[in-house]
Structure 1
């Protein structure tokens, strides 16, 4: 909100004609920011419902069958509640068809009214022998539930109610999964079925409409979202339909939440993934209601439907009779029984279809509002009225169309119409304000230009300082090895831009061993230069610390990968040269092979058999080193692709020109060779800007005898 206030003050200073539109835009932004507690939320929800009515979810298959205890069932088998024996018969009929899972959207919290204990209380004249001879309906139902993949319903409650307790079948979580998912629904206890039935069932699932009751999930009685997961006394439970899916998948039904810093993003059950809100709620994308998958419990009990109809399908048993069922209004305008919502959730999980309004969507809408308002403020005063109306109409169509396009392409909920509504007062004021002072616009443009020039000057100064710092990181071989008789080294680096991603390094590990490094970071400019500094520092530090060169390179890659958010990579050639023996141990990480000048002949060091990928290109690659032996008088040239890929607009400098130039300067000092190579490249470019950084490092080996003398 501080940024919005700053924007308002800027608009006030810009001129009297823009003050009111600017304040209106700030007011619109504030209204949008707090829209959840304003009437604008009702308009937004109505628009989201309109999306669904115009683009409902296609119900291409019917994986769910709902067995409803409807008016026909009550007429044939008596009033509700039925005896648990009859419920057991119904479940037996369903389980005989081998469904994927049977979910029972009924809570059996009290003992069966026909159980011996209840009958003994009601009919005092019955003897104990008579009561003992009576069957126990709850035990019968428990045996039936234990015979298949069954899931019982439970209802979470915010305050411990009489009879409410802790459910027994919590969600098993794989090792390493966080147990506390921020923002999800929490309940103090739950109304569950009797313990005997609860233990017999395979699982339990929540049937709550929302964490705080129906009102928070609905607007004018429209159910738009349902919880997918909740916590009851630090134990996790899925909703009824998702618990059914988990039971159907068996061992493959591992539940994994995708949790970010803003809360839940999605819920995975096995290979199925369902996007969620930050609090774990599912924004249901409804499909058109159908009676095809509703069966009457009376028909199932009578055998009117073969058991095979339930095979490989999810079955939900619930109430579907007026006066018993809960009636839900969907965003499609349909009135459906509550049990139908469970079917919609299962279909959504199987297809991965859900409405998505992530945490950043309100920020995106706020940005679109501010951008649209600023465009109106900047453009409308400069246009004739008819073109101003046309421009606002185009902006309105763009915002509204963006909402429909976002919904159609990925079920994203973008509120375009509310943005148009909030921008309308801004446009009306701007349209009426036709006398905009030209002088104020001119001063504003001059002020903006001055700010831009100052920023450009500051940027240029900062880049120049960065170049000096970067070049200061590179060693000066002539100064470092001024008294060295066994070898001589020269190097140069010329960035293509102010700063670059190439680097070289050379330093003594001890009295006899010289470390040489040339590297090339992917990309150019500031990001590459920063990564170059890190890579150079790490390679130097770890090479000094680690005796094994290959292991040192592996550690360099490991450290570079630790904080590599831009996914940069580095080609590098790192060698350790023994000035006494002439042996060169090296590791090549995707870099061009160095050139060896010996007796007037040029050859490439064979790095093919031991070359690895660039650093950070393949995590965990086991680099290995190779060795060659230099002879007295040998000259070794390390370079980056800024040499071979230099362009004159028609062709590249190439390896052949590089070798020819190196051969032509055989016998000269390393400093003279690097200068000649640099001049050859720049002459070839013929004034064309450099396409990449140019780096050269030349080593001349004099041999042991010179050092002994």
Structure 2
């Protein structure tokens, strides 16, 4: 009855899948450190960096002012050529104001300060050029002042005169009146001016409203917002744009709208305008349409249709070449200040400011933290392969979100901050992973060095277990024998043994463990020891010896590997060879004529698999004939083209040099290695050759 046993591999099976490890504490700390460093950098760079991003959005999508109710009257070069050089007589401004009022303008603002008396007033003219006639002098004195004419004009029109906050050379704010009343709690960083540059008393006493013209640019010299509220002394005062909006509402509703400060905003009538800590409204800038800008000479012309101005807010300013009121904005390096005031007035009336709410800033930090976590997980689980994809997606999604919020909600969301925060954390994690990888490589290198040293020692021990090749040459004068084993790895699963059983009989065996590396080497050592022990103890024939060896292997090896073996017992007195083949390659016989013949044996399965009655088979060697025993590392050797060495090349190698057993072994091994073309061997290589020299060799 046959007894089967399956050969289990000596390595444990791995689970097909395992949960991805969470990032280690070191990586979390690295990500946190990178996030903190990026946060500090973001805070340091934020004003300039954010302005660059938001200015870019303004340049891509300026606000549409085609429906604006604000108009600009420009005193440009064309008007100066007709009316005369600057400053103009106040009678011209009186006429201009009257024309604007007749047209039905809801508010008229002067982005000009009339601080000096009229240079061509009759009284001043008479002092410069005294008339000879008392009658002429009396007539000139009765003409009155042109400043009075201008004052009369503004007193009956919805005019807002400009004032400026100054540090020197101005009036005490406490001496001024007619500022619009502003209530509520002012912002913490509201600018304060100790003095005010004002207009002539004649004009100040008659004007319906006043607006402050001051407005500092940002640190880079660009104007991005317009102050709506500031301080002069202890008084809260409106900017020109806010006062124009108040006067226009008063004209439209017939009531005096109140200006109230609330945290983060200014309320006027039913409008709430967001402002920052310095009282500024941040503008979504636009290019003023050309048909919204008139020259002063157009307004003064009798041909001009004044109905174009009905219900409009009008701002008058000097725009001639050389005018100092030119500012840089997100849309360019040169824009007249009056155009900025006009946009501010329109924004108050129709909307058009930009906001940066608390939730937007919180979203930047939160999205940056989330991006950092995602990048950390991606870097940890894929060793960085997914990280670049995540970053690329963030580089698209975050700027797109910022643009959409700007375009459709006038909301400022900084995409650079979360990208910087996420990238900072990712770079720190990459650094930690790189350091960790270097440390792991160092550990692996040390372990590999130790392993290689141990394997070298194991190889030396394994080779030491084989019969000494020098001793084989002196084994017996009736036999010429040689052998060589080359492991595919540091240690291997092939082995051979030559045992002198008595004065005439020599046991020669070759074996191959069905495996490679350390497991095969361990089983090889066990098999060789058991083989030698059984051969020396067995009193029966070779078939009984094979059965006894299989039993010993199956009992002592546990779930080990299979073992192929070819046993040859040669009687040196007669040349008779008794053989048992347990799943091994057949021996190759070399005749005295040099012919190579494969001795086909019936044999049986490999050892350590099942009980089996392996038959003992016989042949007789003539003096001079040889047997060559090989493992499948010879015939199954492969070259770079994955071709096998095969049986024919094996025969050719044996034919090449038959001068001695050692020559046959060396020629065979060299032929195999040359065929492999330097590729790593696929299996252990073992060759044993012996030639029978006769009972009485010469």
TM range (shorter): 0.5 to 0.7
1:53 equivalenced with 2:53 (yes/no)? no
Q: Which residue of 2 aligns with 1:236?
A: 236
Structure exhibiting the larger radius of gyration computed from Cα positions: 2
Superposition deviation, residue 377 in structure 1:
2.7
Superposition deviation, residue 258 in structure 1:
4.9
Query: 3-state DSSP class of the match of 1:292?
Result: helix
Superposition deviation, residue 197 in structure 1:
0.6
Instruction: Tell whether the 8 Å contact from 1:255 to 1:267 is kept in structure 2 after alignment.
Output: no
Equivalence map 1:66-465=2 (5 Å): 66-116=72-122, 118-119=124-125, 122-123=128-129, 129=138, 132-157=141-166, 159-162=167-170, 165=173, 166-173=175-182, 177-178=183-184, 180=186, 182-210=188-216, 217-250=217-250, 251-260=254-263, 265-333=264-332, 335-359=334-358, 361-431=360-430, 433-434=432-433
Equivalence map 1:268-667=2 (5 Å): 268-333=267-332, 335-359=334-358, 361-431=360-430, 433-434=432-433
Instruction: Tell whether the 8 Å contact from 2:172 to 2:194 is kept in structure 1 after alignment.
Output: no
Query: 3-state DSSP class of the match of 2:354?
Result: coil
Instruction: Tell whether the 8 Å contact from 1:29 to 1:370 is kept in structure 2 after alignment.
Output: no
| CA distance in structure 1 between the partners assigned to 2:419 and 2:74 by the alignment | 45
**TM-superposition CA deviations, 1:649-683 (whole Å, max 9, x none):** xxxxxxxxxxxxxxxxxxxxxxxxxxxxxxxxxxx
Superposition deviation, residue 290 in structure 1:
2.1
| CA distance in structure 1 between the partners assigned to 2:232 and 2:145 by the alignment | 31
Q: Number of aligned pairs? A: 409
Mean Cα displacement is larger for which, 131-140 or 100-109?
A: 131-140
Instruction: Tell whether the 8 Å contact from 1:316 to 1:339 is kept in structure 2 after alignment.
Output: yes
Instruction: Tell whether the 8 Å contact from 2:160 to 2:207 is kept in structure 1 after alignment.
Output: yes
Query: 3-state DSSP class of the match of 1:58?
Result: coil
Mean Cα displacement is larger for which, 136-145 or 230-239?
A: 230-239
| CA distance in structure 1 between the partners assigned to 2:139 and 2:326 by the alignment | 43
Instruction: Tell whether the 8 Å contact from 1:71 to 1:321 is kept in structure 2 after alignment.
Output: yes
Superposition deviation, residue 378 in structure 1:
3.7
| CA distance in structure 1 between the partners assigned to 2:41 and 2:66 by the alignment | 41
**TM-superposition CA deviations, 1:67-125 (whole Å, max 9, x none):** 11110111111100001111111111111111111111110011111235544554467
| TM-score, with structure 2 as normaliser | 0.54
Instruction: Tell whether the 8 Å contact from 1:29 to 1:369 is kept in structure 2 after alignment.
Output: no
Q: Which residue of 2 aligns with 1:564?
A: none
Superposition deviation, residue 246 in structure 1:
0.9
| CA distance in structure 2 between the partners assigned to 1:373 and 1:289 by the alignment | 43
Superposition deviation, residue 279 in structure 1:
2.8
Superposition deviation, residue 313 in structure 1:
0.9
Query: 3-state DSSP class of the match of 1:205?
Result: strand
Query: 3-state DSSP class of the match of 1:340?
Result: helix
Superposition deviation, residue 161 in structure 1:
2.1
| CA distance in structure 2 between the partners assigned to 1:322 and 1:437 by the alignment | 66
Superposition deviation, residue 425 in structure 1:
4.2
| CA distance in structure 1 between the partners assigned to 2:243 and 2:65 by the alignment | 21
| CA distance in structure 1 between the partners assigned to 2:395 and 2:307 by the alignment | 54
| CA distance in structure 1 between the partners assigned to 2:308 and 2:301 by the alignment | 14
Equivalence map 1:20-59=2 (5 Å): 20-33=30-43, 35=44, 38=45, 40-59=46-65
Mean Cα displacement is larger for which, 417-426 or 97-106?
A: 417-426
Superposition deviation, residue 333 in structure 1:
2.5
Cα distance change of structure 1 residues 31 and 121 upon mapping to structure 2, 3 Å threshold:
farther
| CA distance in structure 2 between the partners assigned to 1:319 and 1:301 by the alignment | 15
Instruction: Tell whether the 8 Å contact from 1:356 to 1:413 is kept in structure 2 after alignment.
Output: yes
| CA distance in structure 2 between the partners assigned to 1:19 and 1:112 by the alignment | 73
Instruction: Tell whether the 8 Å contact from 1:392 to 1:427 is kept in structure 2 after alignment.
Output: no
Superposition deviation, residue 54 in structure 1:
1.9
| CA distance in structure 2 between the partners assigned to 1:321 and 1:82 by the alignment | 13
Cα distance change of structure 1 residues 154 and 61 upon mapping to structure 2, 3 Å threshold:
same
Instruction: Tell whether the 8 Å contact from 2:369 to 2:421 is kept in structure 1 after alignment.
Output: no
Superposition deviation, residue 396 in structure 1:
3.0
Query: 3-state DSSP class of the match of 2:119?
Result: coil
Query: 3-state DSSP class of the match of 2:276?
Result: coil
Query: 3-state DSSP class of the match of 1:139?
Result: helix
**TM-superposition CA deviations, 1:568-598 (whole Å, max 9, x none):** xxxxxxxxxxxxxxxxxxxxxxxxxxxxxxx
Cα distance change of structure 1 residues 330 and 162 upon mapping to structure 2, 3 Å threshold:
closer
**TM-superposition CA deviations, 1:470-515 (whole Å, max 9, x none):** xxxxxxxxxxxxxxxxxxxxxxxxxxxxxxxxxxxxxxxxxxxxxx
Instruction: Tell whether the 8 Å contact from 2:246 to 2:268 is kept in structure 1 after alignment.
Output: yes
| CA distance in structure 2 between the partners assigned to 1:219 and 1:181 by the alignment | 20
Mean Cα displacement is larger for which, 398-407 or 18-27?
A: 18-27
Instruction: Tell whether the 8 Å contact from 1:169 to 1:204 is kept in structure 2 after alignment.
Output: yes
Cα distance change of structure 1 residues 362 and 62 upon mapping to structure 2, 3 Å threshold:
closer
Cα distance change of structure 1 residues 384 and 437 upon mapping to structure 2, 3 Å threshold:
closer
Superposition deviation, residue 436 in structure 1:
8.4
**TM-superposition CA deviations, 1:337-387 (whole Å, max 9, x none):** 111112101211122221002356444433333333233234322124331
**TM-superposition CA deviations, 1:13-72 (whole Å, max 9, x none):** 965555544322211112223x3xx4x422210100111122222224130121111101
Superposition deviation, residue 388 in structure 1:
1.6
Superposition deviation, residue 278 in structure 1:
3.1
Instruction: Tell whether the 8 Å contact from 1:388 to 1:431 is kept in structure 2 after alignment.
Output: no
Q: CA RMSD in A?
A: 2.8
| CA distance in structure 2 between the partners assigned to 1:179 and 1:395 by the alignment | 41
| CA distance in structure 1 between the partners assigned to 2:249 and 2:316 by the alignment | 20
Query: 3-state DSSP class of the match of 1:24?
Result: helix
| CA distance in structure 2 between the partners assigned to 1:292 and 1:273 by the alignment | 29
Cα distance change of structure 1 residues 253 and 269 upon mapping to structure 2, 3 Å threshold:
farther
**TM-superposition CA deviations, 1:287-308 (whole Å, max 9, x none):** 2332111111112212231221
Superposition deviation, residue 316 in structure 1:
1.1
Q: Which residue of 2 aligns with 1:464?
A: none
